[in-house]
Amino acid sequence: MKILQLSPRYIPFDLDKTLDCGQVFRWHKTGDDWTGVIDRKVVTVREEGLKLIYDGIDEKDLVKYFNLDLDLARVISTIRNSIKKFTGGETDPLFDAAEKAGEGLRIIRQDPWECLISFICSQNSNIPSIRRRISLLCSRYGRPLTDGQYSFPVPEDLAKSDTDHLRLCSTGYRALYLSKTSGYLLENPDFLTSLASISLKEARTELIKLPGVGPKVADCVLLFAYNHYQTVPVDVWIRSIITCGYPLVHTRSGEKKECSYNDIVDFCRAYFGIYAGYAQQLLFAARRDLPEIFPESSDSVKEM
């Protein structure tokens, strides 16, 4: 086991929040130890005070994976400044709660392929189901590593399987998306790499062309794998948090009954600024705590 001292520039960092916030689905905790797979290597990590005790990976790669070099305090203060500029200095109890709930949460640097497949699997499912589904895919199509872990399947592993076989991993109707998208990536192996060197807008357009990839999945990949922090994935939780908690969003949706996906994105970008995606992730992490601090209706965040 190796030790990484969490020096001031790596703080704040919270391992539990980072690995249990719905951005990645393969890590699991036993006792104080988290176990996962990074780049086909089994990695264990635990947090003890201001130290990370870890194994299976180099310090350099660990720091990179958890994005410890990012000045998180500056990210938060940049978001705060954007809010202040937007409101003219009013308080924001929602973001206060999100900041507290997500203190030390870091958006990690995830492998684009794994991220893409994971979020195709994620649609219309809750997080426990997603974890289970991806775990099945890995044990069935990945390669066995040590300690009962499996590597994440490569495009060929999924593309060469027939759709009915993929369906056995509780993928349901998503099996066809997985089959088609992995087939495309098998034929176009540079596709995901190339997204890193084109504009955010172009990369998003390209991603959405993939079968089973719409705005939400594309935005998750852009945020969690390519670290475009201004990107705001809008799921049902974020939709209700924004529409209930920030009524101003409705002024952007005109006469429409409901805010569109882009109405919510545009508001978040205007309100939270260039780190809107980070703000989104903090709000998502706090989603269970938010109803009680909504200004008026303390019923449920889910009610519009």
Binding site for DNA (CB under 7 A): 21-23, 119, 122-130, 132, 167, 170-173, 177, 208, 210-218, 220, 233-238, 256-258, 260, 280-281, 284, 302
User: Closest CB to DNA among 173 and 198?
Assistant: 173
Cα 230 from Cα 78, distance rounded (Å): 12
Burial code (b: 16+ CB inside 10 Å, e: under 16) for 264-288 equals bbbbbbebbbebbbbbbbbbbbbbe
Cα 284 from Cα 101, distance rounded (Å): 10
User: Closest CB to DNA among 153 and 277?
Assistant: 277
User: Closest CB to DNA among 91 and 163?
Assistant: 163
174 in Cβ contact with 213 (< 8 Å)? no
12 upstream amide cis, omega within 30 of 0: yes
Cα 90 from Cα 129, distance rounded (Å): 39
CB of 219 to DNA, least distance (A): 8
CB of 235 to DNA, least distance (A): 4
3-state percent helix, strand, coil for the chain, nearest multiple of 5:
55, 10, 40
Is residue 60 among the annotated active site residues? no
How many other C-beta atoms can be found within 10 angstroms of the C-beta atom of residue 262? 13
User: Closest CB to DNA among 43 and 285?
Assistant: 285
Sheet holding 28-30, edge to edge: 2-5, 51-55, 41-48, 33-38, 28-30
User: Closest CB to DNA among 54 and 271?
Assistant: 271
CB of 118 to DNA, least distance (A): 9
Task: Select which of 2, 216, 256, 257 is catalytic.
Answer: 216
Cα 41 from Cα 55, distance rounded (Å): 10
CB of 207 to DNA, least distance (A): 9
- Which residues are marked as active site? 216
